[in-house]
Amino acid sequence: MAAHAAESESVVPPMPERTPKALREAIAQHAPELLPDFDAHWKRAIADTYDLGPVPAFMALWWGEYALARDPKLDAHVRDLEYRAAYECTDINEAKALLEEAAKIHHRVQKLEPGQ
């Protein structure tokens, strides 16, 4: 019974509004392990330079990172694909296939909209 309750509680949170502030709040709440790197990257690329030019690239990177991290099963699957391709495959075609599958997932999560 407890296992069933735990499964029903593992709901993937929706994507936030597509702003740095909303994304940071979502990371802090649902994927706090990403927060130190998010903040350090923001400081280095945006805050310390006073340059807003990198914001779209910053958002694209962290949008994808959060989209995976908010779904532990999907994140583990992608990391497993990448690990197997890098460390376990002896066949180049198999490694390519694993990396292509991971890339498709990375690409798909980039297209998620707020609320999805």
Residue partners of 83: CB distance under 8 A and separation at least 6: none
Structural domain contains residue 1: no
Question: Which domain covers residue 38, as residue numbers?
Answer: 19-70
Structural domain contains residue 2: no
Same domain, 84 and 107: yes
The beta strands (E) that lie in 1-116 are given as none
Encode pLDDT of 63-74 as tens digits.
999 999 999 999
CA torsion, ordered 50, 51, 57, 59, to nearest 10 deg: 40
Encode pLDDT of 68-105 as tens digits.
999 999 999 999 999 999 999 999 999 999 999 999 99
Structural domain contains residue 6: no
Same domain, 52 and 79: no
User: What is the reported pLDDT for 6?
Assistant: 47
Same domain, 37 and 58: yes
The one-letter code for the residue type at 37 is D
